[in-house]
Amino acid sequence: MCILSVMALGILTLQGCVDPYDYPFVEKTNYLVVEGAITTDVGPYVITLTSTRNIKNEENAFKLRMQNARVAITTSNNQTVRLAENDTSGTYYTPLDFRGVVGEKYQLKITLEDGREYLSDSVELVALPEIDSIGIRYGSERYVSELNSSLERTGFFIDAYVRDPIESANYYRANWDYTYKIFTHPERSVPPGICCSDCWVEHEAPGFTILDDELSNGDNNAQYPIFFLPVTGKMFYDKIYVEAKLQALSRDAYFFWKTVHNAAYSQGGIFDPTPITLAANVKNVNDSSELVLGNFYAGEVRTITRFIFPNEFPERKDYDTGQIGSCLLLPNTTVVEPDYWNE
């Protein structure tokens, strides 16, 4: 038996409970999730088909990947491109020689193994304005640690400078990665090692940033903050390579990714946006009421890069990690010098 008391603002607090209460769980149909994009980057492009799952139902708890589907993309030039399923993870790939073209429209067609057919909206591959350069600003930011403590760290704010056109609203999605070189001491290990002291650490950031030109429309040198790169002196044994990839988005794709971003990075506060269901721009041909999740979109992509040198970092440079043993024992390391390192 549970005892409840009513507090101010209508909040219920549980004071004591003897008998557990099993909430009557209402099973929902597994929803199709469609993810994929056409860009001007080198292919192949990937369309991923998965299904939501009801974790209370043991029979369908692992039916996540939608295999053996027929997937094709039709262009506004009446070209039909068929995608191949190269593995069993529900991923479908375009041919290597297929590449997106700015201004062209694309429509996704899916036929599942059980015969259900789906069509996406026709989406136009949006042009990306000219990008002048990538800039850095030394500073600090506060963040929440794994122990839920508010801490401060120093580093560089990475910005993209874009010639933003005034003719229309523009929307962007940005991803990034960075690489730096480290030095360790394999000769100090027991027994002493002979490899390796010099490694490159390659970080591909899992996050992304969503940007719009609401405050900078028509600015010939619009500054867009992409991400913050935390830096320590041990990262300056040589220099840091920064790479940012910007993709143009349509208005619909922007609001989709904005919602995903808000949900992924919300802190659970009372002022965070309310979570919503993200209906896809893909519909069941024979049942328009069926809820489909995800998004299919198209946009031009451009990559911008730069190095950050030790003289741009005002703090102490250690140059030496102090690590005993091979540098290959550290995460994300390689002894192969990247092609771009001496550009």
Distance CA 17, CA 326 (A): 56
Distance CA 33, CA 215 (A): 33
Distance CA 285, CA 306 (A): 47
Token couple for 188 = 């100090």
Number of CB atoms found within 10 A of residue 333's CB = 18
Residue 183 DSSP class = E
Q: What percentage of the chain carries pLDDT values higher than 90?
A: 60
Distance CA 63, CA 30 (A): 9
Residue 256 DSSP class = H
pLDDT at position 238 is: 93
Token couple for 217 = 């429309």
Give the pLDDT confidence of 52-107 residue by residue, as tens digits.
876 555 555 455 888 899 999 999 999 999 999 987 788 999 999 999 999 999 99
Return the SS3 of 327.
Answer: helix
Position with higher pLDDT, 206 vs 112: 112
Question: If we measure between CA atoms, which residue out of 202, 244, 232, 239 comes closest to residue 342?
Answer: 239
| Numbers of helices and strands, H then E, in the chain | 1, 22
pLDDT bracket for residue 207 (50, 70, 90):
confident
pLDDT bracket for residue 279 (50, 70, 90):
confident
Return the SS3 of 265.
Answer: helix
Distance CA 213, CA 134 (A): 17
Return the SS3 of 236.
Answer: helix
Question: If we measure between CA atoms, which residue out of 89, 217, 243 comes closest to residue 158?
Answer: 243
Give the pLDDT confidence of 213-261 residue by residue, as tens digits.
887 777 888 899 999 999 988 899 999 999 999 999 999 999 999 998 8
Instruction: Compute the chain's Rg from CA coordinates.
Output: 25
Full-model pTM: 0.80
Position with higher pLDDT, 197 vs 168: 197
pLDDT at 153 over 60: yes
Residue 253 DSSP class = H
Q: Order across the sheet with 84-85: list the strands.
A: 84-85, 91-93, 46-51, 32-39, 293-299
Return the SS3 of 93.
Answer: strand
Contact 302, 134 (CB under 8 A): no
141 contacts: CB under 8 Å, gap ≥ 6: 152, 153, 155, 228
301 contacts: CB under 8 Å, gap ≥ 6: 39, 40, 41, 128, 245, 246, 247, 248
Average pLDDT value over all residues in the chain: 85
Contact 96, 45 (CB under 8 A): no
